[in-house]
Amino acid sequence: MHGNVRRAWRVAGGTLGVVTVAVISLTIWAEIQLERSRALHWLPNAEARVRATTETTSYSYAFTGKDLYLDLEGEVTVRIRQGETEELGVRRQMSWSLSKPVLSEWWKDGAKMGVSLTCPEAAEPAAPGLPAETCRVEYDLTVPPGTRVHTETVGGATACEVSRPQSCATPAATSQ
């Protein structure tokens, strides 16, 4: 009888050991699968970040002065060149990934243009090694001969020479 009790304890102990090892192994496997699914969660966003959408628009404004005043806010880049007509030629290229930004643009008194670009907050930071979300607008402006250009940004005011094509205001100048 004493031998049967000893054997029962050995069987129970062995069974408990096997069950414990199986539960621990299953828990580790489940954690690995969970981490893998979290890593794969980035893939749709990574693909969207790589494939930015670009929207290009061209138009013109009647220009009535000798000075052009630009009021810029956000990730706005402006390049200026001298044209041959008495109007302000505008070519706007807006690029984004994931969510389309909010663009506000106004034209006032025949010589004042304002642009504000608000980029949506990224829902999640970019995964390591992936590009950040794209959100910017670039303007190529063609101004009448002899026009002086003045920009006002969050970073301050500047005057631009229009004798040759140049970048007049960039996002670096507008960051706070």
pLDDT over 90 (residue 10): no
Query: Are residues 86 and 17 both part of a single domain?
Result: no
Query: Which distant-in-sequence residues (6+ apart) come within 8 Å of 6 by Cβ?
Result: none
CA end-to-end span of the chain: 85
Residue 167, pLDDT score:
58
pTM (predicted TM-score): 0.62
Do 29 and 41 belong together in one domain? yes
Same domain, yes or no: 116 and 72: yes
Residue 98 has pLDDT above 90, yes or no: no
Residue pair 42/67 in contact by the 8 Å Cβ criterion = no
Q: How many CB atoms lie within 10 A of CB 61?
A: 15
- Does residue 62 share a domain with residue 23? no
Distance CA 154, CA 176 (A): 7
Domain-terminating residue out of 16, 31, 51? 51
Asked whether residue 6 falls in the same domain as residue 70, the answer is no
Final residue belonging to a domain, choices 35, 51, 67? 51
Whether residue 162 sits in one domain with residue 107: yes
